[in-house]
Amino acid sequence: MTLTHFSSFASRDDALQYDKNDPLATLRDAFSLPGNVIYLDGNSLGASPAAAVRRAQQVIEGEWSEQLIRSWNTAGWFDLPKRLGNKLAPLLGAAQDETVITDTISINLFKVLSAALGMQQQCDAARTVIISERSNFPSDLYIAEGVIAQLGGRHTLKLIDDPSELPDVIDASTAIVMLTQVNYRTGYLHDMATLTALTQARGALAVWDLAHSAGAVEVDLNGANADYAVGCTYKYLNGGPGSPGFVWVPKRHQDAFSQPLSGWWGHQAPFAMESAYRPDPGIARFLCGTQPIVSMALVECGLDTFSKTDMAALRRKSLALTDAFIACVEARCGSHDLTLVTPRDHARRGSHVSFASPHGYEVMQALIARGVIGDYREPSVLRFGFTPLYTRFVDVWDAAQILGDILDSGAWRQFAKATRDQVT
Amino acid sequence: MTLTHFSSFASRDDALQYDKNDPLATLRDAFSLPGNVIYLDGNSLGASPAAAVRRAQQVIEGEWSEQLIRSWNTAGWFDLPKRLGNKLAPLLGAAQDETVITDTISINLFKVLSAALGMQQQCDAARTVIISERSNFPSDLYIAEGVIAQLGGRHTLKLIDDPSELPDVIDASTAIVMLTQVNYRTGYLHDMATLTALTQARGALAVWDLAHSAGAVEVDLNGANADYAVGCTYKYLNGGPGSPGFVWVPKRHQDAFSQPLSGWWGHQAPFAMESAYRPDPGIARFLCGTQPIVSMALVECGLDTFSKTDMAALRRKSLALTDAFIACVEARCGSHDLTLVTPRDHARRGSHVSFASPHGYEVMQALIARGVIGDYREPSVLRFGFTPLYTRFVDVWDAAQILGDILDSGAWRQFAKATRDQVT
């Protein structure tokens, strides 16, 4: 399947033929999807694995209700962060015992930035700058601000406006380069290996946020020799609404510094009830407190949806889907004011496609009313996520046609811009 | 029902008669409890509300699978931390909009200690000492260590060995007095109002951990004029294994200081996607990132189990249960080496009873094998939790008789001390 120069489907039947020939088409059967929508927002909240409701029932009835406190041991609740972290590892290019599922992405970023700044403080106290992108997901920037304030203000956060500035700005004052691999708004994909090498060549540490890349693109943390990474499980990993995040620390850094959220789950002997903190020597020191087990258990159902394929195959289909969507929209809606925000270059594209539209918010509301669920991001961005596990080529065709209808008819005009809280 | 000088039941029938006369007896019907155990560990993991499994099914099938991303708004997911915090408030003596359900107790303590130290830094930078008890739940002490290290080491953690030392140790160097209202091991209950007043009279701030008191004893945070509080929902509040914790901040302190886990859920306009952090002016600034919605939704089922009673009635029954258990154990097991660790004084007793035993670990294993589920805490403590929502007087009688049998027969000897991970 080579769609790099794809020029739209000839017809809906043509799209259906692509689905017929798609070797991954049956993976969709593992999901519980409503019949009346085209879901293009798996980059915000992954669809529900069909196994999730049974798993929740098992945890609540079989483990919690029946076995009660004993399930911390007998049902393996206490080991879930490490066991599921190891199950996630192959999707990240991580080794075993380098990843834990826990807490939230923002909290994990706080741990990681604190540990990385602590390492730099020991090595070279003159390195006080965290570099990131102004267009990074805001919470990452807010967390960097929080860490900096807590450390007394001797560090600074430097924001760049374009990735091309990186070679110039990383210097002897740089402590950390903190990047999100795939930009939440534009879908721009950073070259992790090259940027990590550049960062480290200048003596800084590379911290990666994989929110929009884990389960979406081929990630190779150890191949890139990354320093730290965080991510979430509720987008492409299909772990459920707000399911716990993850934190990855390579073995070489694990005992380098103790992170400040030093709760008892990160202690070397949590049940010895010692009054002083002794961090676990391994990845467990990045744990803090007791985890939400029902939500945590459902992460496994999400990870299991990857068991019959691999990231290389998923990436091929993801690029085919996004190529096709760009082509179909441009063919069907070319006369309207839509600007492709996402790179055409495969090497720079994640798994979602964004178009800027002067009436983006209203257009997205109209799409949702017609059953095409994408989302809107300030300012003016229509965002469409393509999840190769369950998105079909015919969904691509249909979504582009409906978008064309809405723009042709002006039907979006009836959707006034109002409150629009939505969670990324 | 006055059991202060209770001298054991005359017989099992006598205990059954107490259940017959118990106005709260029917509250047990709201729980899904296995028939073959006497559950005395609700202080570690509350029992499952019968409504929980249906609620999980509704969230997964009706909200996640069917409505997908739209449920953040239509199912009110985004508002759960605040809405459930307000539902919890009456059990804590809290006003509306002072409590959020979020993250874990350890993480919430990190936020609160950071905010309180920040306030003190602004008011009186010479106040650099956090006072707590050596016997406090270890994670609280570890978190204080983590905050102190992050702040550069100019603060110290001072641990006292007995609450009677407090009037002497709180002085002009004290920034915070951090106490857990009910001690996790002994069941000792602090006088929140008196200690808060003492703390504040000396210019320090009173931070309370309510892990073993929320839903167990009458808590009156505003009545005591407390400064900050944290707690968990998975013990007496029956929210489910590892269900999210809570943080309480009175209105007078909410905008005093921004806590460092400054994620986007704490931003004044989270969906404006601004690159700089502007904390919400109210309690929402104590939120950080996206919450685990399935686990979070089940917290409501736990809170609903309180809807047909109040804390005064529950406290009366709790004291009756613990009085009866102490009396029954002393009557049945008086010849054995058991030492009551929990205060006899009602004013100093939480809702669990602990006995030290030279073979505590083995004795607890033998009890569990006989279906009496309490837990063991280092060193040598048998811990029995009494949850007035579902614990019966006949459970008290039966548990004491089985404990007597085990001690008489030496049946505990077959349970070797081995790995014993268990979660408090």
Q: Where are the domains of chain B?
A: 12-48+310-415, 76-307
The CB-side HSE value for B181 (13 A sphere, CA atoms) comes to 32
Secondary structure element (H or E) that encloses residue A44, with its range: none
Res B422 pLDDT > 70: no
Contact present, B111 and B261 (Cβ < 8 Å): yes
Tokens of A289: 């407190």
Cβ B159–A275 below 8 Å, yes or no?
Answer: yes
The length of chain A is 424
Mean pLDDT of A358-367: 96
Q: Please tell me the predicted confidence (pLDDT) of residue B140.
A: 98
Residue of A149, A185, A242 with shortest CB distance to B292: A242
Q: Which of B137, B139, B419 to mutate to test the interface with A (most CBs of A within 10 A)?
A: B139
pLDDT band at A416 (very low <50, low <70, confident <90, very high): confident
Res A423 pLDDT > 90: no
Interface of A with B in 90-119 (CB under 8 A): 103-107, 110, 114
Cβ A106–B263 below 8 Å, yes or no?
Answer: yes
Cα–Cα distance list, A34 to A24, A242, B68 (Å): 20, 20, 9
Q: Does A371 touch chain B (CB under 8 A)?
A: no
Q: Please tell me the predicted confidence (pLDDT) of residue A4.
A: 53
pTM of this structure: 0.96
Bridge partners of A377?
A381
Q: Nearest 10 degrees: CA dihedral of B346, B352, B355, B359?
A: 180
Q: Does B133 touch chain A (CB under 8 A)?
A: no
Q: In chain A, which residues have their Cβ closer than 8 Å to the Cβ of B70?
A: 368, 373
Q: Please tell me the predicted confidence (pLDDT) of residue B19.
A: 97
Q: In chain B, which residues have their Cβ closer than 8 Å to the Cβ of A296?
A: 242, 292, 295
Q: Does B156 touch chain A (CB under 8 A)?
A: no
Cβ B72–A295 below 8 Å, yes or no?
Answer: no
pLDDT in tens, A92-110: 999 999 999 999 999 999 9
pLDDT band at B379 (very low <50, low <70, confident <90, very high): confident
- What CATH class is the domain B76-307? alpha beta
CA distance A182 to A379: 18
Handedness of CA B143, B149, B152, B154 (dihedral sign): positive
Q: Please tell me the predicted confidence (pLDDT) of residue B2.
A: 41
Cβ B295–A290 below 8 Å, yes or no?
Answer: no
| Helix and strand element counts for chain B (H, E) | 13, 15
CA distance B316 to B377: 26
Neighbouring residues of A414: CB distance < 8 A, sequence distance ≥ 6 = A366
ipTM above 0.90, yes or no: yes
CATH code reported for the domain at A12-48+310-415: 3.90.1150.10
Interface of B with A in 215-254 (CB under 8 A): 232, 234, 240-245
CA distance A179 to A163: 10
Contact present, A207 and A228 (Cβ < 8 Å): yes
Is A138 marked within a binding site?
yes
Contact present, A152 and B153 (Cβ < 8 Å): no
